[in-house]
Amino acid sequence: MKYSTPSLEINLNAVKHNYNTIKKYCADSEVCGTVKASSYGLGGHNKIVNKLIKSGCKRFFVANINEGIFIRSKFKSITINVLNGLNKGEEKIFRKHNLTPVINTISQLKKWLKFNKNKKKIIIHFDTGMCRLGIQEDKVKEVIKLKKNLDQYKEVIIMSHLACSGDKKNKYNEIQRLRFEKIKKSLPGYKYSLAASGGIFLGKRYHYDLVRPGINLYGGNKNFNKKIMHVVSLRSPIIQINNLKKGETVGYSRTFKAKKNTVTATIPLGYADGIGIRLSNKGYVHFNGKKLPMIGRVSMDLIIIDITKLQHKIKEGDFVNIYNNKFTIDNFANLTGTIPYRIITCISKRYLRNYKN
């Protein structure tokens, strides 16, 4: 059945391709899967995680414990690390669902060492300059004092996170790497992880034992590596076509006034669906490779576009493209004045999602 609502297509084979591309690029490192925020807004956790597992991924990162519990309910054998750490009263929940907290403070570390009796896995996050989460550098000595306890674990991972990895030329990347190297030398004999999506393409010295791709898996940051495939496409049907006379205005606050007779089309998506209001009188959609400008103010559920130049080739029920493999989420992010992460994590749940292999 063809619905008159926007449709989001997610190419699962492209996710697999992107994972394998990163595996080849990081041949000496384990490639994990970051699937927080419902796989960066794409949903279908069971489909995306399953595709990554079939591609060889065994270790996943989520943001909070609820995300971890949900994925664990579907997949019993994978390793799930929870980035937001071990918070008060969560110890038994982590154990019940076989989740591993990313330890972000000395108090969390002491608590987990005392509580966790199976001595299988522990992952410790050091803050090398993000100043968000993680054990600060000046507390490394306190961790060293606990090394005998850590050495009882089958696997210990030391990790950090880069603040400016989206900018290859930013000198802060190397400053953080050198800080991480210093921590590594203070705590030898473990596994180490520094690079997430952007850091992966800063070069081999950033890879260490594990890399943690996120947006790369879903088609973002194509400028870092042209082999990354587009994953997500958004299109919307035209639900009404109108003839606008010269001098008439469009939308809330009448921000667009027709300078000539104009043919307009209305599409059923708006700022409630993650299409930023900043695109008012500025953005555009595509039809058969042609740009169609957005006119008037983007409203909650509707956008008006100017179809005058294609008025005889387009009709109600036809679909226009918001972004796809030709006009990517990176392109759309640049148009919107934001980052590709925000584009896909703000994708509305109202969209029909079509997962294709």
The pLDDT of 213-225, averaged and rounded, is 84
Are 199 and 162 a contacting pair, CB within 8 Å?
yes
Q: What is the mean pLDDT of the chain?
A: 94
Element at 36 (helix H, strand E): helix 36-40
The pLDDT of 166-176, averaged and rounded, is 96
- 3-state helix, strand, coil split of the chain in percent (to 5) is 35, 25, 45
Element at 17 (helix H, strand E): helix 12-25
- 36 as an active site residue: the answer is yes
CATH of the domain spanning 32-218:
3.20.20.10
In the prediction, which pLDDT does 221 show?
Answer: 75
Distance, in Å, from the CA atom of 295 to the CA atom of 264, rounded to the nearest integer, reads: 9
3-class secondary-structure state, position 278: helix
Phi and psi (nearest 5°) for 13? -65, -30
Residue of 96, 252, 291, 309 marked active site: 252
Residue of 16, 19, 25, 36 marked active site: 36
Distance, in Å, from the CA atom of 83 to the CA atom of 341, rounded to the nearest integer, reads: 17
3-class secondary-structure state, position 90: coil
Equal fold, 32-218 vs 232-356: no
The structural domains of the chain, with segments of one domain joined by +, span 32-218, 232-356
CATH homologous superfamily of 232-356 equals: Lyase, Ornithine Decarboxylase; Chain A, domain 1 (2.40.37.10)
- 222 as an active site residue: the answer is no
Global confidence as pTM: 0.93
Distance, in Å, from the CA atom of 109 to the CA atom of 324, rounded to the nearest integer, reads: 44
The pLDDT of 123-138, averaged and rounded, is 97
Q: What is the pLDDT of residues 246-283, one digit of tens each?
A: 999 999 999 999 999 999 999 999 999 989 999 999 99
Q: What is the pLDDT of residues 141-159, one digit of tens each?
A: 999 999 999 999 999 999 9
In the prediction, which pLDDT does 292 show?
Answer: 98
